[in-house]
Homo-oligomer: A and B are copies of this chain.
Amino acid sequence: MSADPRSGGQRRRDTEHRLTHDIDVWVASASADGAPYLVPLSFDWDGEALLVATPTDSPTGRNLAATRNRSAGAGPHPRRVHDRGRSRGPRDRRAAAAAGDRFAARTGFDPRGHPVPLIPHPPRRIQACREVNELPHRELMRDGRWSV
């Protein structure tokens, strides 16, 4: 349990591998008066944003509609990744159709037959850390830009 710290490039590659191959992500949102809600949701990654299928009438759906802030995390120790960001409005119809195809192929759930919009969540800040020796350089993205 004392691997050398990875290079910045390796941490970014590991993070993008996780974004491209994982299926579930923990999504934290909060009500306007500060009650957090954490739930595992299926997601896709289009290279710029997490696409998360969130029922409109779920706690997460209501929180995101009210505040748009969210924080997401994936992975057990030792390759965990977490980020913060804000949700965007839904895509136009053509982009949404392509995103729906990809999402259904990846996760096995097709949100298009349900009241479950596929909401883009572009990350603003990404941290990835394997062991304590990576803590000082855990930040891989800041203000929406990769720093490595």
- The verdict on A71 contacting chain B, using a C-beta distance below 8 Å, is yes
Q: Chain B residues with Cβ under 8 A from A72's Cβ?
A: 38
Q: Mark A67-99, 1 if CB is under 8 A from B, else 0.
A: 101111101110010101000000000000000
- The verdict on A9 contacting chain B, using a C-beta distance below 8 Å, is no
Q: Chain B residues with Cβ under 8 A from A84's Cβ?
A: 37-38
Task: Report which of B33, B80, B108 forms a contact with A34, defined as CB distance below 8 A.
Answer: B33
Q: Chain B residues with Cβ under 8 A from A24's Cβ?
A: 76-77, 80
Q: Chain B residues with Cβ under 8 A from A108's Cβ?
A: 1
Bound CA span A40–B37, Å: 15
| Size band of the interface chain A makes with B | 20 to 34
Which applies to chain A's interface (DSSP): helix, strand, loop or mixed? strand
Q: Let me know if A38 and B34 touch, CB within 8 A.
A: no
Bound CA span A67–B108, Å: 37
Q: Let me know if B40 and A36 touch, CB within 8 A.
A: no
Q: Let me know if B70 and A36 touch, CB within 8 A.
A: yes
Q: Let me know if B71 and A38 touch, CB within 8 A.
A: yes
Q: Which residue of B lies closest to A81 (CB)?
A: B40
Q: Let me know if A23 and B82 touch, CB within 8 A.
A: no
22 contacts between A and B (CB under 8 A): A1-B108, A22-B76, A23-B77, A24-B76, A24-B77, A24-B80, A26-B26, A26-B38, A28-B38, A30-B34, A32-B33, A34-B66, A34-B67, A36-B36, A36-B37, A36-B70, A37-B84, A38-B84, A39-B73, A39-B82, A40-B73, A40-B77
